[in-house]
């Protein structure tokens, strides 16, 4: 009986290690892909802004989205992200203002998500925006490279068909490990439940 218990215990540990290692490989691989397949909309995932000015991370995402728009990847850009505590302007509005004023993207091509505080909330709200506008469900996600696998998995959970086009930049091990943890847990309990735990 004790021997069986040991086998079950170590078998479970081995399976868990293999699952996490496999997920890490998926996160690593996704970070190195750039899918510019034409889609219904480009979704810029939120990042910090400073009093209405996009942080370097957010600026890189917005610039990349503008490049994709000009290349004809999609005719609509959705900028996402709500306010952090103490903010006067949310990430979505900062992104909207930047794309309109600095990149010259026409207002008719821009839509804003203003309530999301994490990737799940941003993509769930974006799916609603697309449904309301009858724009379709194929999307090009724009974010930092390490974010690709988890963002695409969340997009699928909320009913979107995702493609991922990352910004330039290196991905460090810490980011990959953090994303691996989020992806591994989210696939087991659902990303919606994981979002609620945060």
On whether the CB atoms of residues 115 and 121 are closer than 8 A, the answer is yes
pLDDT in tens, 109-130: 999 999 999 999 999 999 999 9
Percent of the chain at pLDDT > 90 equals 84
Cβ pair 41, 76 in contact under 8 A: yes
Whether this prediction's pTM lies above 0.85 is answered by yes
Tell which residue, 177, 140, 143, 137, has the closest CA to residue 158.
137
Domains of the chain: 2-197 (3.40.50.620)
pLDDT-derived band at 62 (thresholds 50, 70, 90) equals very high
Question: Which range has the worst mean pLDDT, 17-26, 66-75, 79-88?
Answer: 79-88
Residue 138: pLDDT band with limits 50, 70, 90: very high
DSSP, res 102: T
pLDDT in tens, 4-14: 667 777 778 88
Q: Which residue has the tokens 């996600």?
A: 141
What is the pLDDT averaged over residues 4-33? 88
The answer to whether 73 touches 39, Cβ cutoff 8 Å, is yes
The chain-wide mean pLDDT, for the chain, equals 94
Please determine, for residue 56, whether its predicted confidence score (pLDDT) is greater than 80: yes
């Amino acid at each position: 009986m004790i021997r069986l218990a040991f086998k079950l215990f170590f078998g479970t540990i081995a399976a868990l290690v293999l699952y996490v290692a496999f997920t890490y490989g998926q996160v690593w691989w996704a970070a190195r892909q750039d899918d510019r397949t034409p889609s219904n909309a480009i979704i810029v995932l939120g990042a910090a802004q400073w009093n209405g000015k996009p942080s370097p991370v957010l600026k890189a995402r917005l610039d990349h989205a503008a490049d994709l728009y000009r290349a004809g990847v999609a005719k609509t850009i959705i900028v996402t992200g709500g306010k952090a505590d103490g903010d006067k302007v949310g990430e979505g509005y900062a992104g909207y203002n930047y794309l309109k004023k600095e990149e010259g993207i026409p207002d008719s091509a821009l839509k804003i998500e203003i309530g999301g505080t994490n990737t799940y909330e941003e993509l769930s709200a974006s799916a609603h925006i697309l449904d309301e506008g009858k724009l379709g469900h194929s999307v090009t996600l724009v974010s930092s490279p390490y974010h690709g696998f988890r963002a695409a998995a969340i997009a699928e959970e909320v009913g979107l068909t995702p493609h991922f086009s990352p910004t330039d930049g290196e991905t460090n091990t810490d980011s990959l490990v953090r994303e691996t943890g989020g992806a591994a847990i989210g696939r087991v309990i659902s990303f919606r439940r994981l979002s609620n735990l945060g």
